[in-house]
């Protein structure tokens, strides 16, 4: 391997895109750049009240070009000549309607401002009704096409979002040729794809969200979808039968993108995957260790040797797919629909008076008001955490349930809502913050418990991402709640780093992903151990959390078809 072999990992997150230029020999981060989506930042095309969250493809394209060029400029010298490969990860399921050329409809005449012609972000829950229909239909249809996605189809996923879009907008329905995940579209874009039928679908998205399985010989048959709704007729034929792992190439960088990025047509572009899957690789995932990619939501990943998963079906998770994380191993996915978002919501709630009233103050000049708002916002969560950590642990403390954005796993149900109980006139902001932190950690424990109940041991926890590195109070509570050691990965950008590892693999710098992971991994620099004196307290509180959650679930029982397991799924 040449000493100067560089690769670029690109991580499309919820709020921004980050590119990282990495030395493929040792994983050294040579340059990094972040671009915050301007249309998303301004709240365009979104309606939180109806759970509509859309992103314009221009945000992605502008961010892609800006961050890659910025990385190359930071590195300086002859850095572009040493770049051998690019791989990307994205949020998911985040699909979009495209025309026959593979162009997102929002980039075509007449659809520029149409939210239905844009990418439906992972947390868009407008298709709750369609997901419920899919679950009931799968149960009646037979064939158990949901068995490899935990037995439940979620409103966060591919087919439910497609059906909702086709029903909601006649113009989009007429113009749509196929439905493409964000992580499949970007490699198609970079390699200069000309026809949507040539898009290479990654097994990660296809298996976990699109119902593709080798056991079915591909996707479910067309009549499975058309008997649900004739509007879906023919869509499965546009997807092809083959899928690809992230260790395979989508092609080479096209001349058009060579000109935009200042690179070479020799650069190999890898097959894309979801951020949590590549983040687990960047965080040096190990068999039977739960890798938690912790951000606005969490994605909890495991890899299991193929022979150990024979005849096992795990209910209530987000899929078990061969090769979705590491080729040759079964990738398991679970997660929480809100984690950092819970803390962000609470912060926004507490800052409402500051944001709303300070600007109209007759005592504070506008510039001082702006600075004060920024200072208070920057300090709030850290101060709450410090104060919450000083509180005594009492059996009758305030108790919360973390389903502020529905429940992803175990047992997807996006109709569920969060809850708070045990309030008194003595309840204050740190006490409520403590309750929300405990709730998110209890949600994490529920996922680990489901794996273990289904015969998949959880040997330990690997925590990845900004929350893991920047929130020691949260991580200590999680170690106590789960009664397990938690290792914190050194890199804050494991998703981009994982993409870079796969870029090094597809470029032939490393022979397979595990070698790239070993050579480029940054290791672990912090461990949180459970505090024995707290374990009994949290075990008791966890039972109360479960009981409170069950009460909330019963309150939405009549409309809860989105969370009903299909016949044949393991219970």
The pLDDT of 52-63, averaged and rounded, is 98
Tokens 């037995």 -> residue:
151
Mean per-residue pLDDT, 368-385: 95
For residue 567, the model assigns a pLDDT of: 30
Are 488 and 524 in contact, with CB atoms under 8 Å apart?
yes
Instruction: Report yes or no: 393 and 399 within 8 Å, Cβ to Cβ.
Output: no
Structural domains of the chain in order of their starting residue, each with its CATH number: 6-283+492-525 (3.30.420.40), 340-490+529-559 (3.30.420.40)
In this prediction, residue 310 has a pLDDT band, given cuts at 50, 70 and 90, of: confident
Q: Is residue 302 over pLDDT 70?
A: yes
β 329-336/298-305 pair status = antiparallel
Query: Which 8-state DSSP code applies to residue 218?
Result: B
Give me 384's structure tokens.
């709450």
**Exposure pattern of 462-496 as b/e (b: 16+ CB <10 Å)?**
bbbbebbbebbbbbbbbbbbbebebbbbbbbbbbb
**Cα–Cα dist 434/80, whole Å:** 48
- Comparing 269-278, 315-324, 355-364, the range with the smallest average pLDDT is 355-364
Per-residue confidence (pLDDT) for residue 570, from 0 to 100? 28
Contacts of 339 (CB under 8 A, 6+ apart): 294, 295, 296, 297, 298, 402, 440, 443, 467
The pLDDT, as a whole number, for residue 566 is 34
pLDDT tens per residue, range 338-368:
999 999 999 999 999 998 898 888 899 989 9
What tokens appear for 538 in the block?
């949290």
How far apart CA 157 and CA 211 sit, in angstroms, is 10
In whole angstroms, give the CA distance from residue 270 to residue 454.
34
E strands, 235-390, in order: 249-252, 268-270, 273-274, 289-294, 298-305, 320-322, 329-336
Count Cβ atoms within 10 A of the Cβ of residue 353 and give its class: 0-12 exposed, 13-18 middle, 19 or more buried. Answer: exposed
Give the pLDDT of residue 100. Answer: 98
Give the pLDDT confidence score for residue 414 in this predicted structure.
Answer: 86
| pLDDT score recorded for residue 143 | 82
- The pLDDT of residue 142 is 85
Three-state secondary structure call for residue 331: strand
Q: Is the pLDDT of residue 568 over 60?
A: no
- Cβ pair 292, 463 in contact under 8 A: yes
Residue 563 is predicted with a pLDDT of: 43
Confidence band of 562 (pLDDT split at 50, 70, 90): very low
What confidence category does residue 311 fall into, taking pLDDT thresholds of 50, 70 and 90? Answer: confident
DSSP string across 58-88: HHHHHHHHHHHHHHHHHH-TTHHHHEEEEEE
Per-residue pLDDT at 299 = 92
Among 415, 402, 422, 554, CA closest to 474: 402
pLDDT band, very low/low/confident/very high, at 3 (cuts 50, 70, 90) = low
pLDDT for residue 277 is more than 60:
yes
CA–CA separation, 494 vs 295, rounded Å?
12
Secondary structure E strands in 139-240: 178-181
Cβ contact 198:190 at 8 Å = no
Judge contact between 271 and 245, C-beta under 8 A.
Answer: yes
Q: What is the pLDDT of residues 226-242, one digit of tens each?
A: 999 999 999 999 999 99
- Given a cut of 70, whether residue 125 has pLDDT beyond it is yes
- pLDDT per position as a tens digit, 14-48: 999 999 999 999 999 999 999 999 999 999 999 99
Task: Dihedral sign for Cα 23, 91, 492, 281, please.
Answer: negative
Residue-wise pLDDT tens digits, 69-115:
999 999 999 999 999 999 999 999 999 999 999 999 999 999 999 99
Cα distance between residue 496 and residue 25, in whole Å? 16
Number of other residues whose CB lies within 10 A of the CB of residue 206: 24
Nearest to 54 by CA among 18, 84, 97, 89: 97
**How far, rounded to the nearest angstrom, does the alpha carbon of residue 262 sit from its chain's CA centroid?**
30
């Amino acid at each position: 391997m040449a000493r100067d072999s560089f690769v670029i990992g690109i991580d499309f997150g919820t709020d921004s895109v980050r590119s990282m230029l990495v030395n493929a020999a040792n994983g050294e981060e040579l340059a990094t750049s972040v671009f915050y989506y301007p249309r998303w930042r301004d709240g365009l095309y979104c309606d939180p009240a109806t759970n509509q969250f859309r992103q314009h493809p221009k945000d992605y394209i502008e961010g892609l070009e800006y961050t890659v060029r910025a990385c190359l400029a930071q590195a300086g010298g002859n850095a572009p000549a040493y770049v051998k490969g690019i791989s990307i990860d994205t949020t998911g399921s985040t699909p979009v309607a495209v025309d026959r050329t593979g162009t997102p409809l929002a980039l075509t005449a007449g659809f520029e401002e149409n939210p239905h012609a844009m990418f439906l972000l992972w947390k868009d829950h407008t298709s709750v009704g369609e997901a419920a229909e899919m679950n009931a239909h799968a149960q009646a249809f037979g064939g158990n096409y949901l068995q490899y996605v935990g037995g439940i189809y979620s409103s966060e996923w591919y087919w439910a979002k497609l059906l909702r879009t086709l029903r909601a907008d006649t113009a989009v329905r007429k113009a749509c040729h196929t439905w493409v995940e964000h992580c499949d579209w970007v490699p198609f874009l970079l390699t200069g794809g000309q026809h949507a039928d040539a898009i290479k679908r990654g097994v990660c998205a296809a298996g976990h969200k699109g119902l593709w399985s080798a056991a079915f010989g591909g996707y479910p048959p067309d009549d499975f979808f058309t008997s649900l709704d004739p509007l879906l007729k023919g869509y499965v034929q546009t997807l092809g039968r083959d899928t690809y792992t992230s260790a395979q190439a989508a092609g080479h960088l096209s001349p058009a993108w060579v000109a935009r990025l200042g690179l070479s047509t020799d650069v190999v572009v890898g097959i894309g995957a979801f951020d949590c899957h590549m983040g687990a690789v960047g965080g040096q995932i190990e068999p039977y260790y739960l890798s938690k990619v912790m951000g606005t939501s969490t994605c909890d990943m495991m890899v299991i040797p193929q022979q150990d998963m024979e005849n096992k079906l795990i209910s209530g998770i987000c899929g078990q797919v061969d090769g979705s994380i590491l080729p040759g191993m079964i990738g398991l996915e679970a997660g929480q629909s809100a984690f950092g978002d819970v803390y962000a919501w609470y912060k926004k709630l507490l800052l409402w008076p500051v944001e709303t009233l300070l600007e109209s103050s007759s005592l504070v000049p506008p510039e001082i008001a702006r600075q004060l708002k920024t200072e208070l916002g920057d300090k709030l969560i850290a101060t709450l955490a410090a104060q919450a950590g000083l509180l005594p642990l009492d059996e009758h403390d305030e108790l919360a349930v973390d389903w502020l954005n529905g429940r992803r796993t175990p047992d997807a149900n996006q109709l569920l809502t969060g809850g708070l109980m045990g309030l008194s006139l003595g309840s204050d902001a740190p006490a409520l913050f403590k309750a929300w932190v405990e709730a998110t950690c209890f949600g994490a424990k529920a996922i680990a418990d489901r794996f273990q109940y289904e015969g998949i041991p959880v040997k330990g926890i690997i925590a990845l991402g900004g929350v893991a590195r920047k929130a020691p109070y949260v991580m200590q509570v999680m170690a106590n709640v789960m009664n397990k050691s938690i290792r914190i990965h050194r890199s804050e950008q494991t998703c981009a780093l994982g993409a870079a590892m796969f870029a090094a693999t597809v470029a032939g710098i490393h022979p397979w992903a595990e070698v790239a992971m070993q050579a480029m991994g940054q290791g672990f620099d912090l461990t949180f151990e459970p505090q024995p004196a707290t374990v009994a307290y949290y075990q008791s509180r966890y039972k109360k959390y479960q009981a409170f959650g069950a009460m909330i679930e019963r309150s939405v029982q009549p409309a809860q078809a989105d969370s009903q397991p299909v016949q044949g799924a393991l219970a």
